[in-house]
Amino acid sequence: MNNTAVKSSQPKIDSALQEKLALFVSLTPAFIITLIGTFIFLFWTIFMSFTDSTLFPGTDLIGLENYFKIWRFPRWQVATGNLFIFAPLYIVVCGGLGVAMAIMIDQNVKNESIFRAIYLYPMAVSFVVAGTVWRWILNPSTGVENLMHGLGFESFVFDWIARKDRAIYTVIIAQSWQHAGFVMALVLAGLRTVNRDIINAAMVDGASMATIYRRIILPSIAPIFVAVFFILSQWALKAFDIILALTEGGPGYATDVPSIFVRDMMFNRGQIGMATVAAVYMLLLLFVLMAIYYGYQLIFRKRVAQ
């Protein structure tokens, strides 16, 4: 009896210390990874954007000079211009397609899991794969145009991928193909949480299905639309592999975007200063998006709480 009491009280002091040590040990990898991989690296990139680094990282500070100088690069102008064409259209096309698919699937469709699986599988393949396949389909000499010529429509033309003023729109097709199923999955999950009693009551009152969707169902899942908007806009900002595989930023630099600009300037053109400035501009854009998103969440929560 005494013996056990001594035994269990003796390790207790040790065990408190042991527990602390165990906690410390278990969090050390995460601490090191986060400190170096996120914060020191982020600081280093931002720091480099204030230097005159070219081929090698240097530490001569030149203030905000790069931040102004970059706007005199025609290629950067094209890249940012493309982002502001590509992002809104992609969000509208991909988001609209996804929402439409979710509403269609929500109509007590037979074998809905098969349709869902088919709509969503592009999310599981890599951008390089998706880009390669779509390049064939869109390429005039191998794809749709060639097929139509073979079917006898000799004057059929679909050469957007090879045209400087149209190539960026082909990126929208390919990336919407890859992501629409994801939007569908999110929106469908939301639709399934809507209270059926309210819908049934509205139907008893004689409201049409279209009205019920417009007035009751879709407004009640507004937070999901905001989340979709945020996710798609940051995917638009990060789009990289798919553009490279589809057009390689071309023809010329007609489909260049900031994400490609950064890598090219950094590793192919020895312009580290310019590259890091472009990366920081991407970061700033992301911060704007996050501010909008969290601002909305704050307002929405307040409204729900009231």
Q: With contact defined as beta carbons under 8 Å apart, do 47 and 29 qualify? A: no
SS3 per residue for 21-66: HHHHHHHHHHHHHHHHHHHHHHHHHHHHCCECCCCCCCCCECCCHH
Handedness of CA 220, 97, 129, 80 (dihedral sign): negative
Handedness of CA 92, 96, 97, 98 (dihedral sign): positive
Binders of another protein among residues 127 to 186 (CB under 8 A) are: 127-130, 132-137, 142-144, 146-147, 150, 177, 181-182, 185-186
- Site for another protein contains 267 (CB under 8 A): yes
| Shortest reach from residue 205's CB to another protein, in Å | 19
Binders of another protein among residues 81 to 100 (CB under 8 A) are: none
- Site for another protein contains 253 (CB under 8 A): no
Nearest Cα to Cα of residue 106 among 185, 191, 186, 181: 191
- Site for another protein contains 125 (CB under 8 A): yes
Q: Which is nearer to another protein, 3 or 306 (CB)?
A: 3
Binding segment toward another protein, per CB under 8 A, in 75-83, 162-170, 233-241, 297-305? 233-241
Q: With contact defined as beta carbons under 8 Å apart, do 66 and 277 qualify? A: yes
Neighbouring C-alpha atoms within 13 Å toward the C-beta of 196? 2
Token pair, residue 299, equals 């307002």
Residue choice 262, 271, 274, 277 for contact with another protein (CB under 8 A): 262
Q: What string marks each residue from 25 to 54 as x (binds another protein by CB under 8 A) or -?
A: -xx-xxx-xx-xxxxxxx-xx--x------
Binders of another protein among residues 198 to 217 (CB under 8 A) are: none
Residue choice 17, 61, 157, 189 for contact with another protein (CB under 8 A): 189
Binding segment toward another protein, per CB under 8 A, in 77-85, 110-118, 197-205, 298-306? 110-118
- Site for another protein contains 8 (CB under 8 A): yes
Q: Which is nearer to another protein, 65 or 146 (CB)?
A: 146
Token pair, residue 183, equals 């939007």
